[in-house]
Structure 1
């Protein structure tokens, strides 16, 4: 399942709870578009804001509405015991893989992070994707830690942060040389994803793909086929720039509301919806992508 476009949808919610109907609709759109996999409860999916029961429900809904497309479910949590419980729930829901970030309050050491992955990997019957997102976890993986974790048999992929275009070829090649061939290397950070794919990354873990799968699939397929992607990336750029300015989860919530896919508010407090001026920017950028 670790190839092509992995689309990460928003989990629409407010203080009353998760909007299960809206979430099912978002997943159904991804399945109808034919994405390669679906990532439920990623960062844009708001996984740290939900309790175990809510996360189990989201996982079940994702699998039930994915129409057979592989679903990866996020299981990150502060304590290893909770990660293990979430892994059990994800597997019972029918997840094809799980996504694990080293969530922390106290700064973790490399040995502690390795120990987390090693302990969880022992309990899995599905592949594990390592989630490196220093912007949210405030933990930075070394290349040596990547290589050490990748030796665990359950590890099937590593999700790395975006790499600037001028560094992408060298960076992807260096990591590829460190990792076993069976471990896929995927890029996130939508504004930098095209460069990573062109440099040889096997898949794109995409926030934008979780909302607007068709243009993201077109970009992924074009790069795989060696076709020019300048026009596609130019159309996406304004929306991706807003991710950097306002945070992708806020922009995606505003875009989903603009498209009539969710009710507003769609974010758990203390997260706030964008103001009217920013929402107008989002709407204009969405129109450019979908034109």
Structure 2
């Protein structure tokens, strides 16, 4: 469940409703490509903008259209009470795992985060991935806290927010965390431009946004790293530098991914919840050229 390429698709929507047909098509596309798992309702899935009922529908659609590919469902919310309800919905939908970020408005203390994960982990019948995303959750994990949480029941993986760009430093960073967590808990890298470096450094999984839209491109990188061909994984990732640069210019993958999905007619436009907007104008035209030149589709 928590190894290889985990692809995180967009949840296409407008101000009226979720585009269930488009979302089902994205999930089916990932399953057909042979990704190792699908992560629905991650940050690119806009989970924080959806009601409980909408999230339950997305979870059901993801599981129904994923075929034999295991599905992980994001259950992050401000209150522990609400996370427990979302976990129940995800499990009823048939999720193989859940993904939990310590979402906050008030800044959380480490003990509060630990108690949050403890309450949820002990209620689960499926494994959990700990979602370490300081950019959106406004919380910075320490390795020591990861180590404590990893000892809880039903913890299966830790999703870290990138690694150092230097290969030796990246390996050292992964090894420091590995020394603090049980052997059965995997480490997965996120931040797509870190994917090759993270897997080459010893991360067992790549939790990937580009994999959610361009699975063949991401699979080529992941499979190279998995077979120990670090040079090839690095080359394939470096080739995508213009795409990584465009993402960096827009504060992350979401706005670029939404524009790319509409350019490929995989989702109608607009496909993000307001006030979020996909990139447009000259950047959208540049993205269209990149998709063609880099053969992403």
> Does TM, scored on the shorter chain, surpass 0.5?
yes
Task: Provide the rounded CA distance (Å) in 2 between the counterparts of 1:185 and 1:49.
Answer: 27
Other structure's SS at 2:244 match = helix
Question: Superposition pairs for residues 241-260 of structure 1, below 5 Å?
Answer: 241-246=245-250, 247-260=252-265
The one of 272, 280, 295 equivalent to 1:290 is: 295
Contact in 2 for aligned 1:235/1:288 (Cα 8 Å):
no
* Deviation for aligned residue 1:288: 2.9
Does structure 1 retain, via aligned residues, the 8 Å contact 2:197–2:234? no
Query: In structure 1, how many angstroms separate the alpha carbons of the residues matched to 2:158 and 2:49?
Result: 23
- 1:20 aligned residue: 20
Q: Residue 164 of structure 1: CA displacement?
A: 1.9
Residue 116 of structure 1 corresponds to which residue in structure 2?
Answer: 116
State the secondary structure of the residue aligned to 2:257: helix
- Paired residue secondary structure (2:72): strand
Measure how far apart 1:284 and its partner are. 1.7
**Structure 1 residue 10 corresponds to structure 2 residue 10:** yes
Shift of 1:273: 2.3
Please, what TM-score do these two structures have when normalized by structure 2? Answer: 0.96
Say which SS state the counterpart of residue 186 (structure 1) adopts: strand
SS in structure 2 of the partner of residue 18 of structure 1: coil
Q: Which runs of 4+ in 1 moved over 3 A?
A: none
Q: Which residue of 2 aligns with 1:61?
A: 61
Residue 285 of structure 1 deviates from its aligned partner by 1.9
Say which is worse superposed, 87-96 or 214-223, in terms of deviation: 214-223
Q: Distance in 1 between matches of 2:130 and 2:293?
A: 33
Task: Describe the SS at the equivalent of 2:224.
Answer: helix
Decide which of 234, 239, 259 is 2:238's aligned counterpart. 234
The one-character-per-residue Cα deviations of 1:174-213 (angstroms, maximum 9, x if unpaired) are: 1111110010000000011111100000000000000000
CA contact (8 A) 1:132 1:159 kept: yes
Cα–Cα, structure 1 residues 16 and 164, in superposed 2: closer, same or farther, change >3 Å? same
Q: Aligned pair count? A: 291
**Contact 2:259 / 2:280 at 8 angstroms: preserved in 1?**
no
What SS does structure 2 have at the residue aligned with 1:39? Answer: strand
Partners of 2:227 and 2:86 lie apart in 1 by 38
Checking the alignment, whether the CA contact within 8 Å between 1:168 and 1:195 is kept in structure 2 is yes
Are 1:187 and 2:192 counterparts? no
Contact 1:215 / 1:289 at 8 angstroms: preserved in 2? no
CA RMSD, Structure 1 to Structure 2 (Å): 1.0
Provide the C-alpha distance between the structure 1 equivalents of 2:105 and 2:182, rounded to a whole number of angstroms: 31
Measured in 2, the distance between the counterparts of 1:206 and 1:289 equals: 18
Q: Is the CA contact 1:267–1:273 (under 8 Å) kept in the aligned structure 2?
A: yes
Q: Is the 8 A contact 2:222 2:233 kept in 1?
A: no
Deviation at 1:230, TM superposition (A): 4.3
Query: How far, CA to CA, are the matches of 1:134 and 1:258 in structure 2?
Result: 30
Runs of 5+ unmatched residues, structure 1: none
